[in-house]
Amino acid sequence: MRSIISILLVTLSFSLGAQEKQARFDDLNSESTGRYDSYLASDGAVYKVGDRITLATTDVDCAANFSFVRSSATERYLLPAVYKGSHMRITKIRVEGMERTGYYVTVYADGVEFISPCEVELERAISSGEIECFGMTAGKALAELRKAKEKLDLQLITQQEYDAVKATLAPYIR
């Protein structure tokens, strides 16, 4: 009987210790540096190890390089923009930085084609449009608001429903 209880206690302690470790954009500081299983970004989206991210298909000049996506091989270099639309799988999420310069999240991912692995400065890549973000962007919010306005004009939704959609999307547009 004691051995069964001991096994249950060991199993319980392992399952409690295996909780997902999540970094949050609002809480980046010196105590948050290290490795994480997931990250709650400024756009409200959660990025997890194993998720696939897509390099932007728009807003990046084809003749240029990405600014916040780079090879993490021995000779680091910015990833050429010819890889627009490519997919990468997140293999590691780290909070890095210093108090003097600030803290940031770096996502490590399996590379694209012959470039492997890659690093992505996540918040900068999201805000610059270099990766397609999981969360709501100003462009997506504006498009949804326009769709809601069309539905209102066609009397498919009520003014109250439109106002609710507008209130939800307004913070992303400003």
Based on the domain organization, do 84 and 142 belong to the same domain? no
Based on the domain organization, do 25 and 74 belong to the same domain? yes
> What is the rounded distance in angstroms from the CA atom of residue 158 to the CA atom of residue 153?
9
Is residue 68 in a domain? yes
- Give the chain's largest Cα–Cα span: 71
How many structural domains does the chain have?
Answer: 2
Q: What share of the chain is helix, strand, coil (3-state, %, to 5)?
A: 35, 30, 35
- Tell me the whole-structure pTM to 2 decimals: 0.68
> Alpha carbon of 10 to those of 1, 2, 13, 17, 19: distances in Å?
14, 12, 5, 11, 15
Based on the domain organization, do 44 and 124 belong to the same domain? yes
Q: What is the pLDDT along the chain (174 residues), one digit of tens a residue?
A: 444 444 444 444 444 445 789 888 888 887 888 999 999 888 778 899 999 998 886 555 555 788 898 887 666 788 888 888 888 999 999 999 988 888 999 999 987 777 778 999 999 988 888 888 777 777 788 888 999 999 999 999 999 999 999 988 887 776
